[in-house]
Chains A and B, each alone.
Chain A
C-alpha cells in the first residue's frame, strides 16, 4: 500500500523544502533553529488535524497539551537527567492523560461548547504553569539540562534539527496513513454521522476520546522536543495566542489534509517570523488570513492541488 496518496505528495515536497532550508543557509544556527521550531509546530498542527479534520472535533487549547509535554520533559531533564526519548514518552503520556479531562466531557459536547471547554483548558494549563512555582518555577521558567539521546549528548542545533525532523517524518507518516486504517475510518464515520457510525458498531464516545488522546499525545511529544530545542520552558510560550496559531495552521492549510496542514504550518510560521518585529502585525495578518480563508476558500490551501475528492 502506498504511504502517500497522490494528493498527499505535496506533503513530501513541503517537508523537503524545509529540510533543505538550513542546508541552503550553510547550517547556520538561526536558520536551523527556525526550521526546527517549524517542525515542532508542524507536529502539533498535524496532531490538531487528527482531532479536527479527521474526527470532527475542535480544540482551541492545543498549546495546553503542548505545554504539558514540554514541562514534563524539561522537569524530568532537570531533576533526573533523563534521556530525551524518556522525556518524549513522558510528555506524550502526560498530555494524553490531560486530554482525558477535556476528552471525556467532549463525548457529550460538540461545536461551540467544545470550543469553549478546550479554550478554558489551554488557559488553565498556562495559569497553573505560572502559579505552581514549586514545580514549574513560575514565570522564570525551567532551564533544561544538556539533552542526550541514547547516550549521545545533542550538543549542537544540528543534532536537535536531525532528531526533530525524524520525529516529524514519523508523525507525518502516521497521520497520512491514518485515513487508510480502521481507526481512521472510525474517526471519519463519527465526524460525518454519529448515528450511522453507531449503527455500524462504532462506539462514538470511545472513538472521540481516542482521537483526543492520540492528538494530545502527539502534541505532548512535540512539546518535549520543543523543550529540547529551546532549552527553556516558560508559561508565556503556551498562551491562547499559541493555541490559536496551531488552530490557524490547520484551518489555513485545510482540514483533513496532511499536506495542507504542513503547508499551513509553513506559511503561518513564515508570517510569524517575518512579522515578528512589529508588535501585533503577525496576529493581524494571521487573523486576516483566517477570515479570508473562511470567506473565500473554505477548503484552505489544500484546494490548490485537490478538487472535490475526499475534501471536506
Chain B
C-alpha cells in the first residue's frame, strides 16, 4: 500500500497539466462561448517553437520557453482576431467547424515544417529526487504543481483586481456592466484567447519531457483537458482545476491498477457516466430555455 501516496502524488503532477489545459479551454469558452478544439494543436506549435529555438537558434532554455509562450499568446490573439471574430454570430456548429479546421491546419503545417520524427525537450528542472518519508518527490513533478499554483494565483489576481479581468468576467456574464466601465470587450476577447492558448502552450511544454513530441502528441493531453473541463462543469476556473487534478489522480490509479494503455478508454467511460448522471458537469447548473 506504500505505493498509493506515490501514485496520488505523481497523479497530481500529471493532473496539473490537465488542469492547465482545461483552464485554457474554459477561459476561452467562458469569454466567447467557443470550445477551441485546436487547443492541442496550438500547444504542439508552442512546443515545436521551443524546440526550434533551443536546437536551431541555440537560445537558452528558459528564454526559449518565454519566447515560445509569447508566440502562443500571439497565436491565440491572432486566431480570435482573424478567424473567430468573423464567425462570432454564426451557429455554434460553424464555430466548432472553424476550430477543428484550425486543428487540422496547424497539425498539418507542423508536420510539413518539422516532419513526423519524434523530437524531445529536456526537463526544465534537473535536480535529484528527494525521499520524503514514504514518497519520493520528483522535482519536475513538484515544478508542474508549482507552475499550476503560480499561474492560478496570477489568474485570480488578474480576474479579480484588473480591468482586463473585469472585462473577462463581464464577457461571461453581464455585458452591460463592462460597457459602463468603458472596457473594449473585443480587445478583452482577443487577450483572453492569448492567455488561454498560452496556458495550453505551458501545459504542452511541461508535458513533452515525459513523452515525445510529434505533431499529434497533444491530442491526448487536450482530450484529457476537455474531460477535466467537463468534469468541472465547463464554466468555472475552480471546476477546471479540481477536474484536472482529480482526473490526473484517477488516471494514474487506472494506469497502475488496471491497464496503462486503456486509461483513456476508462476515463472516457467515466466521462460518459458523469455526463449521464449530471449532464451539466459535476458542479454545473441546469440551463432553462425560454419560449
Task: Enumerate chain B residues within 8 angstroms of A284, measured Cβ to Cβ.
Answer: 104-105, 108-109, 111-112
Q: A244-B103, A280-B109, A290-B101 are in contact. Are A115 and B275 (CB under 8 A)?
A: no
Contact partner of A116 (CB less than 8 A), chosen from B35, B93, B276, B289, is B35
Please measure, in the bound complex, the distance between the C-alpha atom of A116 and the C-alpha atom of B105, giving whole angstroms.
19
Secondary structure dominating the interface of B: helix
- Give every chain A residue within 8 A of B112 (Cβ-Cβ): 278-281, 284
The answer for the CA separation of A102 and B276 in the assembled complex, in Å, is 10
User: B residues within 8 A CB of A123?
Assistant: 219-220, 223, 264, 268
Q: Does B285 contact A (CB under 8 A)?
A: no
Residue of B nearest to A52 (CB): B93
Does more than half of chain A's interface fall in helix, strand or loop, or is it mixed? helix
**Is B154 interfacial (CB 8 A cutoff)?**
no
Contact check, A109 vs B268: say whether CB atoms are below 8 A apart: no
B260 CB to nearest A CB, Å: 9
Q: Is B148 an interface residue (CB 8 A)?
A: no
Question: Given known contacts A127-B261, A287-B106, is B97 in contact with A115 (CB within 8 Å)?
Answer: no
Instruction: Mark A1-17 against chain B: 1 for CB-CB distance below 8 A, else 0.
Output: 00000000000000000
A-contacting 9-mer, from B120-128, B170-178, B226-234, B237-245: B226-234
Interface centre among B103, B115, B268 (most CB of A within 10 A): B268
Across the interface, do A287 and B101 meet the contact criterion of CB distance under 8 Å?
A: yes
Of the candidates B93, B262, B276, B291, the one having the most CB atoms from chain A within 10 angstroms of its own CB is B93
B37 within 8 A of partner (CB): yes
Q: Which residues, 71 to 92 on B, are CB-close (under 8 Å) to A?
A: 83, 86-87, 90, 92
- Is B183 an interface position by the 8 A CB rule? no
B166 proximal to A (CB < 8 A): no
Residues of B with C-beta under 8 A to A218 = none
Chain A to chain B: the 10 pairs with minimum beta-carbon distance, closest first: A280-B111, A287-B105, A287-B104, A283-B108, A284-B108, A290-B101, A112-B35, A291-B101, A280-B112, A124-B265
Interface presence of B59 (CB below 8 A): no
Does B179 have its Cβ within 8 Å of any Cβ on chain A?
Answer: no
Is the CB–CB distance between A280 and B92 below 8 Å?
A: no
The chain A residues found within 8 Å of chain B, CB to CB, are: 52, 58, 60, 101-102, 104-105, 108-109, 111-113, 115-117, 119-121, 123-124, 127-128, 130-131, 195, 240-241, 244, 247-248, 251, 255, 278-295, 298
Interface size band for B:
35 or more
A247 to chain B: which residues have CB within 8 Å?
A: 100
A303 to chain B, nearest CB (A): 14
Question: B230 contacts A113, CB within 8 Å?
Answer: yes
Residue pair B93, A58 in contact (C-beta under 8 Å): yes
Given A58-B93, A109-B275, A128-B262, CB of A120 within 8 Å of CB of B98: no
In the complex, the answer to whether B265 meets A111 with C-beta atoms within 8 Å is no
Residues of A within 8 A of B101 (CB): 248, 287-294
* New A-B contacts (11) at CB < 8 Å, excluding given A108-B276, A248-B101: A60-B100, A101-B272, A105-B275, A120-B226, A120-B268, A124-B264, A128-B265, A130-B261, A241-B216, A280-B109, A294-B98
